[in-house]
Amino acid sequence: MENINISTLQNWKNEKIKFAAITAYDFSFAKLFAKQGIPVILVGDSLGMTIQGHNSTIPVTIQNIEYHTKAVRKGAPHIFLISDLPFMSYCQINQALKNTAKIIQSGANMIKIEGGKNLINIIKELSNQSILICGHIGLTPQYTNYLSGYKIQGKTEKDANKIVEEALSLEDAGVKMLVLECIPAKLSRIITQRLSIPVIGIGAGRYTDGQILVMQDLLGITEGKNLKFVKNFLFYNGGSIQNAIKAYINEVKQGIFPSDKHSF
């Protein structure tokens, strides 16, 4: 299999080819996902909730991300691998550089950080060191206490304008990809059109360049959650994980998923 790199994803953006991404945390699932054709995997700090059983991503450490990044890279050597920098691991430039080095050395192609204009100086410094950075705005789970929970962002004109400004500022600072989480579909459409870099959505409607879901949500094995933007692909594809992943990839490529009922 040919290696997927940032140029691949940028070309897909330019050619309006939509792509699917998914979270993974171990060797076996990473291998299975890659075999079905998933081009992008995120080692997300969502592992704090899906793997460790916490009620947020905040307890996740840089050592946790290192461990799972190494496992996923072994299972999927050719995919484009993004790994989160966890809560409070990139507040200062020297800290961000040190922790980014650990994650890249563990096998990630790109690191992902949550936040807007407060990260501009750190993003610029990481970019100067040739680090690929994925931004993450809208609903940012590491800020859940500040946001008073997991809520849709950008619903008012003022908040929507702020998110657009943050997206433009992040691209200007050097991010090469952007995740939009839980914002209205119309807002994500504006941002995707205005940015030249690939934009991935989760709960952000159909207009982004790519889509990402947490693997446990996609497979319908997360109990107690009924998220509007999630589809149980395992249920609709005969209980086969392989068929579920293939269906997810195909529906994203064709613009079938997410539909209006999965959007805000």
Q: Cα torsion at 228, 198, 68, 124 (round to 10°)? A: -120
Quickly name the fold that domain 6-262 has: TIM Barrel (3.20.20)
Q: Two tokens at 136?
A: 């993450």
Alpha helices (H) in 15-156, listed in sequence order: 27-36, 47-50, 62-75, 93-105, 120-128, 144-147
Q: What is the pTM of this model?
A: 0.96
Would you list the domain boundaries of the chain?
6-262
Tell me what pLDDT residue 74 has: 98
Tell me what pLDDT residue 120 has: 97
Taking the CA atoms of the chain, what radius of gyration do you get in angstroms?
17
Which residue among the candidates 165, 181, 223, 251 is catalytic per the annotation?
Answer: 181
* Cis check: omega of the bond before 184, within 30 degrees of 0: no
Is 2 among the catalytic positions? no
Residues (pLDDT < 70) of the chain are: 148-149, 224-225
Tell me what pLDDT residue 146 has: 72
Tell me what pLDDT residue 224 has: 65
